[in-house]
A and B are shown apart, each in its own frame.
Chain A
Amino acid sequence: MTRSLTRRRFVLALGGLSGAALLAACGQSEPTPTAAPASGSTAASPTVALASGTGTTSPTAPAVVQNTGSKVKVLYWGSYSGTLGEAEQALVQRFNESQNEVELEYQYQGSYEETAQKLTQALAAGTTPDVVLLSDVWWFKFYLNDILLPLNDLFAANGIDTSDYVDPLIEEGTRQGTVYWVPFARSTPLFYYNKQIWQEAGLPDRGPATWDEFVEWSGQLVKREGGNTTRYAFGHPSAASYIAWLFQPVCWQWGGRYSDPDFTIRIQEEPAVEAGRFYLASVRDGMAVPSQDLVADFVNGAVAAMMASTGSLGGILRSASFPVGTAFLPEGPAGFGCCTGGAGLAILKNKPQEVQEAAFRWIAFATSPESTMWWSQNTGYMPVRKSAIASAEMQRYFEENPNFKTAVDQLPKTRPQDAARVWIPNGDQIIGKGLERVTVQQEDPATVFADVAQTLEREARPVVEQLKRREG
Chain B
Amino acid sequence: MERSLKVLEQQRTVATPVRSDEQAAASRLRRILGERLLFVLFVAPNLLLLAVFTYWPLVVNVYLSFQQWDLISPVKVFVGLENYRFLLGDRDFHEVLRNTVVYTAGTVGGTLVLGLLFALLLDQRLRGIALARSVVFAPYVLSGAAVGIFWVNMLNPRFGVVGQVASWLGTVSPDWLNHPRLAMVAVILVSIWKTVGFATIVYLAGLQRIPQELYEAAMVDGAGALARFRAVTLPQLGPTTLFLVVVSTIASFQAFDLIKVLTNGGPVNATTTLLFYIWEQGFVAFNAGRAAAASVFLFVILAIISLLQVRIGERRVSYD
Contacts and interface: CB of A to CB of B under 8 A. Distances in A.
B118 to A, nearest CB: 16
Interface string B6-22: 00000000000000000
B72 A10 contact: no
Contacts of A292: 175, 177-178
A228 B172 contact: yes
A4 interface: yes
A324 interface: no
B285 interface: yes
A15 B177 contact: no
Contact of A21 (B150, B156, B269): B150
Interface string B107-148: 000000000000000000000001101110110011101110
A238 interface: yes
Interface in A1-38: 3-4, 6-7, 10-11, 14-15, 18-19, 21-22, 25
B141 A14 contact: yes
B266 interface: yes
Contact of A436 (B72, B141, B266): B266
Contacts of A230: 172
Interface centre among B146, B264, B268 (most CB of A within 10 A): B268
A300 B179 contact: no
B248 to A, nearest CB: 21
Interface of B is mostly: loop
Nearest to B69: A462
B206 interface: no
B47 interface: no
Nearest to A232: B158
Interface in A142-163: 142, 145, 147
Nearest to A292: B178
Contacts of B131: 3, 6-7, 10
A229 B141 contact: no
Interface of A is mostly: helix
Interface string B52-78: 000000000000000010111100010
Contacts of A462: 68, 70, 77
Interface string A209-229: 000000000000000001011
Contact of A433 (B130, B137, B178, B266): B266
B159 interface: yes
A21 B268 CA distance: 28
Contact of B71 (A124, A238, A240, A426): A124
A240 B286 CA distance: 16
Interface string A71-103: 000000000000000000000000000000000
B134 A7 contact: yes
B138 A11 contact: yes
B266 A291 contact: no
Contacts of A289: 175
B72 A19 contact: no
Given A18-B143, A436-B268, A440-B267, A425 B159 contact: no
B268 A425 contact: no
Interface size class of B (residues with CB under 8 A): 35 or more
A290 B157 CA distance: 12
A226 B170 contact: yes
B180 interface: yes
A436 B266 CA distance: 9
Interface in B150-188: 150, 156, 158-159, 170-172, 175, 177-180
B299 interface: no
B122 to A, nearest CB: 12
Contacts of A22: 143, 145-146, 149
A119 B68 CA distance: 20
A269 interface: no
Contact of B134 (A11, A226, A459): A11
Given A147-B72, A441-B180, A433 B146 contact: no
Contacts of A290: 175, 178, 267
Interface string B251-278: 0000000000000101111000000000
A239 interface: yes
Interface string B228-250: 00000000000000000000000
B283 interface: yes
A45 B266 CA distance: 43
Contacts of B172: 228-230
15 contacts: A3-B130, A7-B131, A7-B134, A10-B135, A10-B138, A11-B138, A18-B143, A117-B284, A120-B71, A240-B266, A292-B177, A426-B286, A429-B285, A433-B268, A436-B267
Given A21-B149, A21-B150, 5 more contacts: A11-B138, A19-B146, A289-B175, A300-B158, A440-B179
Interface of B: 68, 70-73, 77, 130-131, 133-135, 137-138, 141-143, 145-147, 149-150, 156, 158-159, 170-172, 175, 177-180, 264, 266-269, 283-287
